[in-house]
Structure 1
Amino acid sequence: MASQMEQRLSLDLSIERFAYREPFRISGHVFESTTVLVARLSDGEDTGWGEGAGAYYLGDDAENMLRQAEDARSRIESGASRQDLQQVMPAGGARNAIDCAYWDLEAKRSHTPAWQLAGLPEPQPLRSTLTLGAAEPDEMAAAALRLDPAAPIKVKLTGDTALDIRRINAVRDARPDAWIGVDANQGYRIDALPELLAALVAARVELLEQPLAIGHEADLDGFDRPIPFAADESALGLADVEGLVGRFDVVNIKLDKCGGLTEGIAIARRAKALGMGVMVGNMMGTSLSMAPSYLLGQLCDIVDLDGPTFLTRDRPGGVTYSDGKVHCDTAIWGGSGKMS
């Protein structure tokens, strides 16, 4: 395989926009669409595909992703390997798209599915959360009732403690038996957490994701965590994992943050070795983004791969959601045959 990948490749890049069914609100942001970079990497016979959505809070938008990809084009087209890409490009959506295109191309050229090349378990349907954007409590309760009754629920908070507690209680009342986790998206300060946590425990919430802003991780030193805390924005890449120990219990891995499946797998394995739980999330891309994350999800304790459910349209043959689980066929990405 290594000798094959040394031959000259061609890289095709495009920007695509996918509208949401309705605006999606989190702490500090309202989203109405997602814009992705699509990378196609070809050797003239086989073509690998990948998609990156970037990370909005890092300024990693379409313009930035395209610029980074173009900066790396000459190295890639002159024979850089997927492993070389870790040094050729910075972490982010562009490297994610191209890294995943390499994996897809390797799978097709070797006639071996990507999960097997990566040394991962054969993919099985995964229990995946479905997310409720922040809204009025009664609206969120009604939305919770419209979700698949078998699905775990992830609730977006905004940092308004009183309103967030009402949101949590409304969703719990609507779905008394559901697994519920909440995501604060950096919206809280340490002095507000005790009140929030008391309400989370009372409502049987099982995960609090990224309560504090990036740079305030040390505020959690010695802080009592009655439920597991997950690091998202505080866990950008492999280099961050060691510093999370003792402050967080779970690492949320997103390929758009860390720059692709190659580093995502490394993060999962290192976090597990350190005794931490692992979670896979997404930046609201299409099923082409979910497919490599679905492979990573086979190593994870918590799975949050619901991005396509927010879109007015998805790619053909994409992921499916039923009975509280997500399933992704290798036909869209990572299979051993050609993608039409």
Structure 2
Amino acid sequence: MTVATERLRLAQPFRISGYVFEHSDVVVVTLSDGEYQGRGEGGGVFFLGDDVAHMTSQLAEASTAIETGVTRRELRHILPPGGARNAVDCALWELEAARSGRPVWELAGLAAPKALRTTFTLGADTPEVMAQGARNYADAKAIKIKLTGDLALDIARVRAIRAARPDAWLSVDGNQGFTADQLDPLIAALQAAGVALLEQPLARDRDADLEGYRSPMPIAGDESIVSLSDIAGAVGRFNVVTIKLDKCGGLTEGLLMAAEARKLGLGVMVGNMVGTSLAMAPAFILGQLCDIVDLDSPIFLARDRTPGAVYRDGDIHVGGEVWGTRDAADRKNL
């Protein structure tokens, strides 16, 4: 196992509730058996303190166990959910694909992946700037709006964006910025603007405030839903669970989460932390099972990997040339 760290610079600052991002650091894990190799990228979870220092420390501590030939099932007991496990898990998937000559989607028991409609995210700014951003997303069919918890300003933001893009499917992401007493006026305004989904309006330690709340629109849990063990607790509080590989610890856990959510009657959304197309590729596989897809991170980077994800007509497609599905000969160590 080799571990590298990289700093991904954003093309411009990106604002959500409580944070402004100008760059993000990631780890890239490469696993080699001497003939074939697999790669995975982990960005960690900033609101859980899962940064590069934390991830590299975890990988160093687990290196012996990993290098003895760990399976993906065993990895779930060696590393906790988070970016480090995500990077190793995705590397294991690609290594297995290389050894077997079978693409990851086939190993996962899925059909060949198709392009997916993805949301394109607007960072929080003035209503005028966000409305222009929505116009600039000329090819986008679905737009996700970052809010901050300033109720009057957030409602103005949503109204301006809807006026700019009357044709687009809209969702909003509260990023834990609201309180329970703001839900009724917020949701009323969102419904009036034709918004289809409200994501994580309350702080993750205030989920109980949603117990029994009758929302006229779907509410998705993001920060509140980290890994498989959190899915059952979403029932009665959320209608949709947002799965991010950096939160849950990789494609293996993500697939288990999607299956459990379906079993419990919950909708499923796949999202992303800041990452390159190498991180989007396994999430794109998971996205084949999801109702809502939010995999737009590479468009915010000053520079993505080459080859990378393709965005066209509001859709994302991540081909085998990026990760996980190339022929075995192409994944040999050179």
Q: TM-score, normalised by structure 2?
A: 0.98
1:255-284 C-alpha deviation (Å, 9 max, x unpaired):
000000000000001001111100000001
Match among 231, 235, 238 for residue 248 of structure 1: 238
- SS of the residue aligned with 1:329? coil
CA distance in 2, matches of 1:103, 1:322: 27
Conserved in 1, the CA contact under 8 Å of 2:119 and 2:140? no
Structure 1 gaps, min length 5: 1-10
TM-superposition CA deviations, 1:256-313 (whole Å, max 9, x none): 0000000000000100111110000000100000000000000000000000000010
**Alpha-carbon distance in 1 for matches of 2:110, 2:51:** 30
- Aligned pairs, how many? 330
* 2:166 counterpart of 1:176: yes
Aligned residue identity for 1:223: Y
Q: Which of 322, 326, 333 is the equivalent residue of 1:332?
A: 322
1:187-244: per-residue Cα shift (whole Å, max 9, x none)?
0110111111110000000000000001111101121211100000000000000010
Deviation at 1:326, TM superposition (A): 0.2
Q: Output the CA distance in 2 between the equivalents of 1:246 and 1:275.
A: 11
Deviation, structure 1 residue 336: 3.7
Task: State how far apart, in whole Å, the 1-side matches of 2:24 and 2:283 are.
Answer: 17
Identity of aligned residues (%): 56
Aligned to 1:104: 94
Aligned counterpart for 2:256 among listed residues 248, 255, 266: 266
Q: Which moved more, 1:78-87 or 1:163-172?
A: 78-87
Correspondences of 1:61-80 after superposition (within 5 Å):
61-80=51-70
- For residue 151 of structure 1, report the CA deviation from its aligned partner: 2.4
1:1-340 alignment, distance < 5 Å: 11-337=1-327, 338-339=330-331
2:2·2:31 contact (CA, 8 Å) conserved in 1?
Answer: yes
| Letter of the structure 2 residue corresponding to residue 13 of structure 1 | V
CA–CA separation in structure 2 for the residues paired with 1:148 and 1:259: 34
Q: How far off its partner does 1:122 sit?
A: 1.2
Return the letter of the residue paired with 1:307: S
**Separation in structure 2 between the aligned mates of residue 287 and residue 149 of structure 1, nearest angstrom:** 19
Partner SS, residue 13 of structure 1: strand
Answer yes or no: is the 8 Å Cα contact 1:24–1:31 preserved in 2: yes
Given that residues 100 and 261 in structure 1 are in contact (C-alpha distance below 8 angstroms), is that contact kept between their aligned partners in structure 2? yes
Structure 2 Cα separation of the partners of residues 242 and 251 of structure 1? 10
Letter of the 1:279 counterpart: M
Contact 1:110 1:336 in 2 (8 A): no
RMSD of aligned C-alpha atoms? 0.9
Displacement, 1:121? 2.2
Matches of 1:336 and 1:124, distance apart in 2: 16
TM-score normalised by length of structure 1 = 0.96
1:261–1:296 Cα contact (<8 Å) kept: yes
Q: Is the 1:284–1:306 contact (alpha carbons within 8 Å) kept by the matching residues of 2?
A: no
Read off the aligned partner of 2:136 and give its amino acid letter.
R
Q: 1:68, 1:89 within 8 Å by CA — same for their partners in 2?
A: yes
Unaligned runs of 5+ in 2: none
Partner amino acid, structure 1, of 2:302: T
SS of equivalent to 1:225: coil
- Contact persistence 1:279–1:302 (CA under 8 A): yes
> How far apart, CA to CA, are the structure 2 residues paired with 1:207 and 1:26?
17
